[in-house]
Structure 1
Amino acid sequence: MYFRLHLGRKAVWILLIVLALLAVYPVIFLSAGSLMGADELEDCLGAVVSGAEGYASFPVLPKYPTLQHFVEVLLDSPEFFVMFWNSILITFGVLGGQFVAGTMAAWGFARYEFPCKRGIFLLYIVLMLLPFQVLMLSDYLLLDRLRLLDSLWAVILPGMFSTFPVFIMYRFFAEIPDSLIESARLDGAREWQLFWYLALPMGSSGIIAALVLGFLEYWSLIEQPLTFIKDKSKLPLSVFLPDLTMTGKAGFLFAVSVVTFLPAIIVFMGGRDYLEQGIMAGAVKE
């Protein structure tokens, strides 16, 4: 019985390792391609890129590593830097608005009673489930009336008031013990002090989890910028990749892909623990 159980665990581990390697392979593929020279890429991907005869092959490690493509991206591509800066402005503008509006809305839903509270919160959840395509027309008409089309604010403003961060933060704020809040009120704490000194520190895990998820979402936006922005100089980096082709620029495309997904990986790894806590229910218990 013990032997079968031990053998079953090994089989599960082997299966998980194989699945993990399959999931990580695209990252390895991009990283290796970004370090290959033009000739080596032509030899490996000639059948795909230039229509050469034969089959495509791709080694795990490049034979002759080079940083030529990264130099081309980081030093010789001003358009890349413009779009990279646009992505920074959009992403952190949205996250700043979600931190201000989302935390206050979540705290209000979690700790205050007001008319139609359940109905409004249900509306929040319904809006969270609706895809962008459903709200695209109404957003476009509203942004047009506000004269914000063809600007970064056309993407930032709708994202600032997203309902998804409110849903995540609400669960953490709702788990703060009532006795702790009442004790603070008896000690003379005002409502803004409860929010600033009690809600934000104790709900920090949910706040960071929501911001991490928000970064991963808005760093890779494609539909919203293409819908609301026509000026190419204002488009984010996520729109830069689809415009590139493999023909003659395979190494450049690989390098751009690596530089693009690197910030998302860094943010995800840095906020992984908070993200796990955000997925778990009820982090604070009385």
Structure 2
Amino acid sequence: MEKMDHTILEDQKGDRIDKVISGLDEEWSRTQVQQWIKDGNVLVNGQKVKTNYKCSLKDQIEITIPDPEELDVIPEELNLEIYYEDKDVLVVNKPRGMVVHPAPGHMTGTLVNGLMAHCKDLSGINGVLRPGIVHRIDKDTSGLLMVAKNDMAHESLVNQLVEKTVTRKYLAIVHGVIPHDFGTIDAPLGRDTKDRQSMTVVDHGKHAVTHFHVIERFNDFTFVECQLETGRTHQIRVHMKYIGYPLAGDPKYGPKKTLDIDGQALHAGVLGFIHPRTSEYLEFEAPLPEDIIRLLEHLRK
């Protein structure tokens, strides 16, 4: 464990202790510092304080920086398709069938296993099993994910998700022929009381908005682009089912008779965000995977 001392300066008096400490090192996030305070790793004049403690001039702050928790996730060489990487963020194109992070009983072959082999530095905010993971896409959805390599980047990217400034566009094949070219689905989502592993539209659920536009129509299917305004679990899958156009191949929310694809025909094709350090807007595009291209060719015939 590392220790650091700091004396409160004139321009810091009256500020909250968590704000002051997170300002001492750009790699320390406020969330992380608040946990240190709760764990008793921050002393003010030798005493434990609460996270909302207001500092006084010449307060003596003693910070004990805990050692990072040892991960019990095994790094694995998984030949990840990295679209972008620097010291703060990484953008990866996840293949269909890959789980994002380990869970009990499923500890290998996940994106996190591959990330840990690819880079040694990942944000620790989300804990041992989800290092660096800011948002996720379902196992059978392919496409782009942003990953945080330090806590400063993690906090910035999470805030952008909360503020709805991240661009996330998905391509999907749905059952049925959508008659209108554009639409917005504004319907709150929550757990299905009959099936806790499924989501559904519920009156008092979390606010959820999906915008879509039609790219191409076929006899019994439509190829659409969906843009997320919010990012709820299974959002596009549940919203498209709700308006009567479930995703092709969706084992949970779609019909049994469907197109020949292993999992829902959904691909996170465009991802854009503001870089946490440079404030530059970055946008990436990943082409459709082969299986969806084959389905579209089949439908055109």
Interval containing the TM-score (normalised by the shorter chain): under 0.3
Give the TM-score of the pair, scaled to structure 2: 0.20
Higher helix residue share: 1
Higher relative contact order (CA 8 A, sep 6+): 1
Higher strand residue share: 2
Query: Is the radius of gyration larger for structure 1 or structure 2?
Result: 1
Give the TM-score of the pair, scaled to structure 1: 0.20
